[in-house]
Structure 1
Amino acid sequence: MTQPPAEQPQPQQRQPDQVEAEQPEPRPVAAATVEEVVRAQLAKALGGRRGMAEAAVPTILFTLSWLTLRDLQLALGISIGAALVLLAVRLVQRSTVQFVVNALLGIGIGWYFVHRSAASGGSAEDQALAYFLPGLLYNGGYAVVLALTCLVGWPLVGFMVGSITGDATAWHGDRQVVRLCSRLTWLLALPCALRVAVQAPIWLAGSSGSMDADAAVAALGVLKIVLGWPLQLAALGTMVWLLSRNRTPVAPGVSGVPDAPSA
C-alpha cells in the first residue's frame, strides 16, 4: 500500500521586526583621532611610493635628457614616452591612472609654454626656460592659496577631515582640529614657497640675460630634482611625525563623526 508523501516542512515566515533587526548597523568611522584621518587621506592622495614615482619620473627624464642631449624636442619625446609606458602598465593592471595622467598633464602644459616661446622667436634655451615656468606659477599659486586658507582660519587640510567624516565643515567647530590642520597646511605650503624663492630669481636672471640662459636651464633642471620629491618627502616626514602623536580625538558631533554604538 502506497504511503502518502511526507509533508515538507514549511519555511518559517520572518516577522517584519525580525528582518529589520537583522539588517547590519551602519559602521562608524574607524579613525579615533584626527591625525589618523589625515594620515589615511594623505596616503590616498599621494598614491604611495608608486604614485610619487609616476609623477616624478617623466619630469626627471626631461631634465636629464635636456642637460645631456641639448635637444628640446627629443627631451619632450622621452618624457612623454616614459609617461605613456607607465600609463600602459596601469591600464594592463587595471589600476588607477590618476598619477600618470597628472604627469602627462604637467608635460602638456610645459609643452604649450615651449610652443608659445618658439612661436615668438625664442631660442632653444628660451624655450627650455619656458618649460620651467608653469612649475613656478603652480608652486607660487599653490603656496598662496594654502597660506590664505590658514590666515582666514579655514586651513585646507581640514577639508580632508571633512571628506572622511561626511561633514565638510563640522571640523571647524573644534579649535584643536583647526590648530592641527593649520600646522599641516603650513607644512604643505612650505616646499612650494621654498621652490619659488630659490628658482624664481634664476629663471628671471636667465630670461633677462643677466645670467647665461644655458646655465640657468641647467641650474633649474638640477633644482627641480633636488627641490622636488626630496623636499616634499621631508615636509611629509615632518607631517607624519606630527600626526604620529595622535593627540587630537575625533570628537562626536564636533568633527562630523557619529558616536560609536554602545556595547
Structure 2
Amino acid sequence: MSTPEPDAEREPSASEILGAALGGAARRAGIDPDADVSTGRMVWGVIGGWRGIVESVLPLLAFIVTYTVSSNLILALILSVGSAAIFTIIRLVMKSPPVAALSGLVAAVVAAGLPLFTGRAADQFVVGFITNIAYGTAFLVSAAVRWPLIGVVVGFLMGEGVSWRTDPRKRRTFFWLSVAWALLFLARLGVQLPFYFSGDVATLGTVKIVMGIPFFAVLLATTWIVARRLYPRESDAGDARRS
C-alpha cells in the first residue's frame, strides 16, 4: 500500500513563489516586522536616509537645472549620468552590493538613451512613465482579481503566507491599500504627462521630484501603520491587556 505524499513535498503555487520573493525583497529593502523601530525610522531606512534622497534627486536635478539654464541637452545628460556614476563609485568603495550600487547608474544611462537618440529633452522622463504604468497596472489588476499585491507581500513578511485571504477584514484592507498604491503611480502619470507633451522640462522635473520620495514615504508609512494594526505584536497585545 502506497503512502500519500507528505505536504512538505507539495510544489509551491505561483502566488507562494511570488509572495516569498516579494517578501524577501521587502526585508532586504529594510521593511522588517520583527524589528522594534518606529514608522518614521523604517521609512527613513527604506528610502536610504539622506544619501538615498541625494542619490535619487541630484542626477535629475542636475539635468533639469543644466538644461533650463543652458538648453544644452548633451551637457545636461552628461552631468546627470556623471552624478549617478559618482554615487555608484562611492557605493562600490563602501562595499555596497554590486547590484544595489549599479542600479542607479543603469537607470540613469537608460533614461538618458532616448533623449540622446530623439534630441527631445522631455524624453528623459519616458522610462519613469513606463515604470509608473507597470507598477500602477500591477497593483490595480492584483486588486481587481482579489490577489492584492500588498496582501501578498505583507502575508509573507508576517509569516502568514496567503492565509490572510480567509479573513474578510484583511482582504478588504489589502484591497484598498493596493488600490491606493495603484493610484499613486497613475496619479504621477496624470499630472506629469501634460507637461511632457508641452515640453515643459523644468515643471515636469519639479513635479516628478515632488511626487517621488515624499508621496512614496507617506503611503509607505500609511501601509506600515495599517498592517501593524492587522498584525499586532505579542508585546503590544500584552501591554494593551495590562493597561
Alignment of 1:158 with 2:142, yes or no, is no
**C-alpha contact 1:146 1:155 (8 A) present in aligned 2:** yes
Confirm whether residue 239 of structure 1 aligns to residue 223 of structure 2. yes
The answer to which of 97-106 and 155-164 deviates more is 97-106
More helix by share: 2
What letter is aligned with 1:218? A
Aligned partners of 1:157 and 1:184 also within 8 Å: yes
- Amino acid paired to 1:182: F
- TM-score, L = length of structure 2: 0.67
Give 5+ residue unaligned stretches, structure 2.
Answer: 1-31, 234-243
- Tell me the CA shift for residue 231 of structure 1: 2.3
Q: Cα offset for 1:78?
A: 1.3
After TM superposition, the score normalised by the length of structure 1 is 0.63
2:79 partner amino acid: I
Instruction: Kindly indicate whether structure 1 or structure 2 has the higher relative contact order, using CA contacts under 8 Å at least 6 residues apart.
Output: 1
Q: What residue identity is the alignment partner of 1:186? A: V
Instruction: Judge conservation of contact 2:156–2:162 (CA < 8 Å) in 1.
Output: no
Alignment of 1:72-221 (within 5 A): 72-96=73-97, 98-118=99-119, 127-165=120-158, 168-204=161-197, 206=198, 213=199, 216-221=200-205
- Rounded Cα–Cα distance in structure 2 between residues aligned with 1:111 and 1:167: 42
* 1:155-185 deviation line (CA, Å, top 9, x unaligned): 1122223443567533333333323322332
Q: Which residue of 2 aligns with 1:226?
A: 210
Amino acid at match of 2:177: L
Distance (whole Å) between structure 1 residues aligned to residue 54 and residue 153 of structure 2: 23
Superposed displacement of residue 196, structure 1: 0.7
Deviation larger for 38-47 or 158-167? 38-47
Q: Measure, in 2, the Cα distance between the counterparts of 1:131 and 1:110.
A: 5
Contact 2:122–2:201 (CA under 8 A) maintained in structure 1: yes
- The code of the aligned residue for 2:207 comes to L
Equivalent residue number for residue 231 of structure 2: 249
Task: Find the counterpart in structure 2 of residue 13 from structure 1.
Answer: none
Report what 1:69 is aligned to.
70
Residues 194, 247 of structure 1: CA spacing in aligned structure 2 closer, same or farther, 3 A cutoff? same
Contact 1:157 1:181 in 2 (8 A): yes
Contact 1:55-1:99 within 8 A present in 2 as well: no
Total equivalences in the alignment = 198
Relative to 1, partners in 2 of residues 1:158 and 1:46: Cα closer, same or farther, differing over 3 Å?
farther
**Does structure 1 residue 57 correspond to structure 2 residue 39?**
no
Provide the C-alpha distance between the structure 2 equivalents of 1:97 and 1:180, rounded to a whole number of angstroms: 37
Task: Flag the 1:99–1:50 CA change in 2: closer, same or farther, 3 A.
Answer: farther
Amino acid at match of 1:94: K
Q: Secondary structure at the match of 2:183?
A: helix
Question: CA 1:46–1:189 in structure 2 vs 1: closer, same or farther (change >3 Å)?
Answer: farther
Q: Which amino acid in the other structure matches residue 131 of structure 1?
A: Q
- Mean Cα deviation higher: 55-64 or 161-170: 161-170
2:185 & 2:118 partners in 1: Cα distance?
A: 25
Identical pairs, percent? 27
- For 2:146 and 2:42, the matched residues in 1 are separated by 21
